[in-house]
Amino acid sequence: MDFASQGTLTGAVVVDSGLGGLVFDERIFIPTFITDAYPGLAAVFTTSAAVHTNVTATFFVDTSTGQFTGFGAEAKFCGAGDLAGNGDGRVGAAVIPAAVLDQSDSATLADANHQQVCADITSLGSIDSEGLVIDTDVQIAAVPNTATAGGQPLRPVGGDILGLIASFVLVMICRGAPSFLGPHRRRPNR
């Protein structure tokens, strides 16, 4: 039997409480005890299940044995950011384990105060006879609030001018409408 050296899947992650874990792209089962033991996996897969976003994962295979030798997985999502008392990060409904957050990510989440942030999480893993080793990189970015400035709603530049021009054009069309419809005829008085 021949094995491909790698394969990539992109898909949803859903909770399967009957089996006690997550199902990735309707193909791969990830037991809860595995995501509990490996925060780097939870940071990608459990968070994506919580916020209903897709994960892209590439799996590497030893072509002589068919054994998995590694993976790279990425999840991206946005939501209200906060830092829980136990150090876990919160982005919307997703909980990012404290074990994978660095000081900068934790500070960004602590300062977010439930404002919009986006998370980009990449986990790279190697699998060998010694077990599984995972390196996880988390990037948390605050999303600037452009809806208000100084408490006042922002208007598009030129919005008032464009509104005036549109109103003027509409009035001109309405006044000229009879000429578009043909000659205007008066009804005789009866």
Query: Residue 65 and residue 2: Cα distance in Å, rounded?
Result: 9
Q: Residue 147's pLDDT is what? A: 54
pLDDT at 61 > cutoff 70? yes
pLDDT at 178 > cutoff 50? no
Q: Which amino acid is at 38?
A: Y
CB-CB contact of 120 with 78 (8 Å): no
Within 10 A of 110 (CB to CB), how many other CB atoms are there? 14
CB-CB contact of 165 with 140 (8 Å): no
Q: Which amino acid is at 67?
A: Q
State whether the Cα torsion 38-30-15-41 is positive or negative. Answer: positive
Q: Taking all residues of the chain, what is their mean pLDDT, rounded to a whole number? A: 82
Query: Residue 116 and residue 80: Cα distance in Å, rounded?
Result: 5
Q: Residue 82's pLDDT is what? A: 97
Per domain, the residue ranges of the chain are: 6-148, 152-181
Give the tens place of pLDDT for each residue, 28-45: 999 999 999 999 999 999
Provide the token pair at 78.
Answer: 């946005």
Give the tens place of pLDDT for each residue, 65-110: 889 899 999 999 999 999 999 999 999 999 999 999 999 999 999 9
Q: Which residue has the higher pLDDT, 174 or 129?
A: 129
Q: Please write down the long-range contacts of 157-160, taking CB distance under 8 Å and 24 or more positions apart.
A: none
State whether the Cα torsion 116-96-136-104 is positive or negative. Answer: positive
Q: Residue 85's pLDDT is what? A: 94
* CA 189 to each of CA 185, 186: distance values in angstroms, whole numbers, following the listed order: 12, 9
pTM score > 0.85 for this model?
no
Query: Residue 122's closest CA among 190, 56, 50?
Result: 56
